[in-house]
Amino acid sequence: MAGGVRPLRGLRALCRVLLFLSQFCILSGGEQSQALAQSVKDPGPTRTFTVVPRAAESTEIPPYVMKCPSNGLCSRLPADCIDCTTNFSCIYGKPVTFDCAVKPSVTCVDQDFKSQKNFIINMTCRFCWQLPETDYECTNSTSCMTVSCPRQRYPANCTVRDHVHCLGNRTFPKMLYCNWTGGYKWSTALALSLQVQVGVHVQLTVGLH
């Protein structure tokens, strides 16, 4: 009897162990399932990538190109077509040379008609406002009416001509003599005034005789 009870107790103990292990496996599997479900619901921080489209190459023609003759001599290009390394410490009135380069989209050649990008220009050392009057153009004032002596002046804006090279700003203010009287240029008004005076003098002379 005692020998039959011992195997039965051992079988019960084995069953309890198996039951414990099965419960443990079930609990462990449930936690893993919950963790997996949580990871699916909350995948964590996401990274966003912004695709930047490639900028299209500009095909616009710079406005200064309209002033630049194509395949002409580089040394004859207008000042708006080139960039030069100038030196303000040159001696006024003396000849000077500066290194220059053509601007983008500008084409020019040298004396041998070969394409050129870098060259030198020869000029006189002086600022733009020191140029002779024939080298720049200024605004006129038709409302400046005077016959006084000395003649009055008016403020004008002057711009250097394209083919002339100089130092400093190519547009500058300048005080000019009033050259208009009653809608006529000063020289024209002066000539008319002299004619009138001569005519009056002749009439008076004839009347006296």
* Spans of all domains in the chain: 63-125, 127-184
pLDDT at residue number 64: 85
Q: Given the DSSP bridges, would you call strands 180-181 and 171-177 parallel, antiparallel or unpaired?
A: unpaired
pLDDT at residue number 95: 95
pLDDT at residue number 141: 80
Cβ atoms of residues 156 and 172 within 8 Å: no
Secondary element (H or E) of residue 41: helix 2-41
Rounded distance, CA 139 to CA 171, Å? Answer: 11
From first to last of the 209 residues of the chain, give the pLDDT tens digit: 545 556 667 677 777 777 766 666 665 555 555 554 555 455 556 666 565 556 555 578 888 888 888 888 998 899 999 999 988 889 999 999 999 999 998 999 998 999 999 999 999 999 999 999 999 999 988 777 666 677 788 899 999 999 899 999 999 999 988 875 544 554 565 565 566 455 545 455 555 55
pLDDT at residue number 125: 95
- Amino acid present at 148: S
Strand blocks (E) in 47-200: 72-73, 82-85, 95-102, 108-109, 115-116, 118-124, 136-138, 153-160, 171-177, 180-181, 184-185
Cβ atoms of residues 119 and 97 within 8 Å: no
- Express each pLDDT in 119-175 by its tens digit: 999 999 999 999 999 999 999 887 776 666 777 888 999 999 998 999 999 999 999
